[in-house]
Amino acid sequence: MPSDNSSVNDDARREPKTRTQRFVYARRDTEDGPLEIIPPEESTWFKFYVRNFYITQDTKLAKAFRNRFRLPYAQYLQLVEDIRSNDLFDRWCGYKSNNKKVAPVELLLLGSLRYLGRGWTFDDCEESTAIDQDVHRTFFRAFLQFGSTVLYRKWVLTPVNLPEALSNMKEYSKAGLPGCVGSSDCTHIVTDRCEYNLKNNHLGAKNSLTTRTFNLTCNHRRRILHTTSGGPGRWNDQTMVRLDSFISGIRDGIVLDDVSFELFAHDSKGRLKKLRFSGAYVIVDNGYLNWSCTVPPFGVTNNIDEIRWSKWLESMRKDVECTFGILKGRWRILKSGVRLHGVDAVDSVWFTCCALHNWLLEVDGLTEEWVGGVCKVGSEYEGDLGCLDFEGVPVEVPNALARLSANHDPRNFDSSGVGPGSDVMAENRSMLRTEVAELSDSASRIDDRNIMKSITNGVDRVRSVRYLSLNVFRQLLVNHFAILFSQNKIVWPERQTRKRLVCA
């Protein structure tokens, strides 16, 4: 027969359990004192970074703060004020219904920055701020919505006309690539908690994990001009570029159609003349579609001018690769993987990191135009933090420019249209093409040569880039570059480090 105590226990088990708020307990004052609840105002971060106004006066502390939270202290305070004035954060900018103070916004923002910058967990943030991890998680979701909309629209400015694109084109014009507005490529971001019904499409060929693919366009100063929303990791560059509104807009003449530039060329009599063009283009790798607005290097060729131009373009195109390295080095969540549920959260994280990246370039003065092809402002992420060490580059002749004057072995390239030789190229490539492919390629090359002759020998008029084929426009760029290189007018845009500036 059950006892009275057991019936009482059964009644207690039947009562609905209410969720109790979690607190951080610790001993204060003395070791033998009782355990007390630590409020957020007594946490380590609040004492170190919120109440410690000495950070603005001490260089070492300011540098440590930026290293830990990726933002300078002045920009952190500015971001706190922007958050207080935004409706998304009203629940953290007042009092609760029981007239108790809410968690300080300053600490919640520090937790979000640490989560992005160093790939922490929300439990780590709770340990440092004495704020429940669920509160950090809820605030972080609101911060992502704020960063992917408000901050992104403010700091990621996509050029749509000539005045907006002119400053982005100057370094490329000095480097022998007039009309180029930036470089573009795709990158993959690991998505740890992808939806089950989307998992198959997000398993890409480059990674055994589920990833999201983003196509990004930046200028030579590493400033992000445009980025697409995320796509499944299985999608390649050719698929993503179709969804890129910026590059597709250039191809369709919707954006940057008023951009004009000139290319040097020789006519049939060997006379030097200028050809005028309208429109713009970006430089890419060989994984993109054969559009005239996406210019890649030559894959196989034995022409010295084409080899030299391809090496130069590949060197210039490394700015987008450097941008990926800076993004994933500064915001470690992009490298370690996003642990939030849903692919939409991954897109919000990416947009927020891109906006903060451009903001930091503005703070460091790296968005200014490079005078004479040289940037004289150093960045905090040119050293170990960003893995961008340029100390090995000579001041007189950069390595990329010196390679253009080196002896090129044409045996490593092939332009026969049949296929590369097995002695110099990979054996897994196709050795022969079908007769139909050979005839079509020969016919297209004849048509391209006829178009080239009509352009160089025709009347002086403005031609639109988007109406030309990739082969014709790329050959015009090669001829222009060869003329400037023979005249010693090619300038390599480089960034000087602080050490070289002191020596100068």
User: Over the chain, what is the mean pLDDT?
Assistant: 80
Report in angstroms the alpha-carbon separations of 295 from 96, 100, 288, 417: 57, 60, 9, 20
**20 or 245, which is more confident:** 245
Query: Can you give the C-alpha Rg of the chain in angstroms?
Result: 29
Q: Where are the alpha helices (DSSP H) in 121-236?
A: 122-129, 133-146, 152-155, 162-174
Helix (H, G, I), strand (E, B) or coil at 446: helix
429-459 CB burial, b ≥16 within 10 A, e <16: eeeeeeeeeeeeeeeeeeebeebbeebbeee
pLDDT at 53: 72
- Residue 232 CB coordination number (10 Å): 21
- Residue 465 CB coordination number (10 Å): 24
pLDDT at 491: 85
pLDDT at 230: 94
pLDDT at 495: 66
Rounded distance, CA 462 to CA 180, Å?
A: 17
Q: What percent of the chain has pLDDT over 70?
A: 73
pLDDT at 10: 45
Confidence of residue 271 (pLDDT cuts 50, 70, 90): confident
Cross-strand partners of 257: none
Return the structure tokens found at 476: 């015009």
Asked if pLDDT for residue 458 goes beyond 70, the answer is no
Which range, of 52-66, 69-83, 110-124, 412-426, averages the lowest pLDDT?
412-426
The answer to whether 366 touches 377, Cβ cutoff 8 Å, is yes
pLDDT at 110: 96
Q: How many helices (H) and strands (E) in the chain?
A: 19, 14
Asked if pLDDT for residue 234 goes beyond 70, the answer is yes
Q: What is the mean pLDDT of residues 115-135?
A: 92
Asked if pLDDT for residue 254 goes beyond 90, the answer is yes
Q: What is the mean pLDDT of residues 495-503?
A: 46
Q: For 157-216, what is each residue's pLDDT tens digit? A: 999 999 999 999 999 999 999 999 999 999 999 999 998 889 888 987 777 889 999 999
Rounded distance, CA 350 to CA 335, Å?
A: 11
Which range, of 139-153, 197-211, 429-443, averages the lowest pLDDT?
429-443
Confidence of residue 356 (pLDDT cuts 50, 70, 90): very high
Q: Of 253, 223, 265, whose CA–CA distance to 379 is shortest?
A: 223
Q: Where are the alpha helices (DSSP H) in 284-369?
A: 304-316, 318-330, 333-336, 343-364
What does pTM read for this prediction? 0.81
Which range, of 250-254, 350-354, 362-366, 439-443, averages the lowest pLDDT?
439-443
Confidence of residue 99 (pLDDT cuts 50, 70, 90): low
Q: For 101-117, what is each residue's pLDDT tens digit? A: 788 999 999 999 999 99
Confidence of residue 406 (pLDDT cuts 50, 70, 90): low
Cross-strand partners of 341: 193
Rounded distance, CA 280 to CA 181, Å?
A: 7
pLDDT at 442: 47
Asked if pLDDT for residue 359 goes beyond 60, the answer is yes
Asked if pLDDT for residue 482 goes beyond 80, the answer is yes
**153 or 40, which is more confident:** 153
Return the structure tokens found at 386: 């960003």
pLDDT at 377: 56
Rounded distance, CA 321 to CA 165, Å?
A: 21
Confidence of residue 392 (pLDDT cuts 50, 70, 90): very low
pLDDT at 494: 74
pLDDT at 52: 76
Confidence of residue 32 (pLDDT cuts 50, 70, 90): low
Rounded distance, CA 41 to CA 47, Å?
A: 7
Return the structure tokens found at 279: 């429109």
Helix (H, G, I), strand (E, B) or coil at 264: strand
Asked if pLDDT for residue 374 goes beyond 70, the answer is no
Q: What is the mean pLDDT of residues 333-355?
A: 95
pLDDT at 435: 37
- Residue 105 CB coordination number (10 Å): 18
Rounded distance, CA 317 to CA 311, Å?
A: 10
Asked if pLDDT for residue 396 goes beyond 60, the answer is no
Rounded distance, CA 229 to CA 186, Å?
A: 11
- Residue 207 CB coordination number (10 Å): 13
Asked if pLDDT for residue 384 goes beyond 60, the answer is no
Burial class (CB in 10 A: 0-12, 13-18, 19+), 68: middle
Residue 92 carries which DSSP code?
A: G
Element of type H or E holding 105: helix 105-118
Confidence of residue 343 (pLDDT cuts 50, 70, 90): very high
pLDDT at 381: 52
Helix (H, G, I), strand (E, B) or coil at 192: strand
Confidence of residue 353 (pLDDT cuts 50, 70, 90): very high
The dihedral over CA atoms of 394, 395, 397, 403, expressed in degrees to the nearest 10, equals 30
Which range, of 213-222, 282-291, 439-448, averages the lowest pLDDT?
439-448
Cross-strand partners of 494: 374
Asked if pLDDT for residue 223 goes beyond 50, the answer is yes
- Residue 467 CB coordination number (10 Å): 11
Helix (H, G, I), strand (E, B) or coil at 214: strand
Q: Where are the domains of the chain?
A: 36-155, 162-368+382-406+464-495
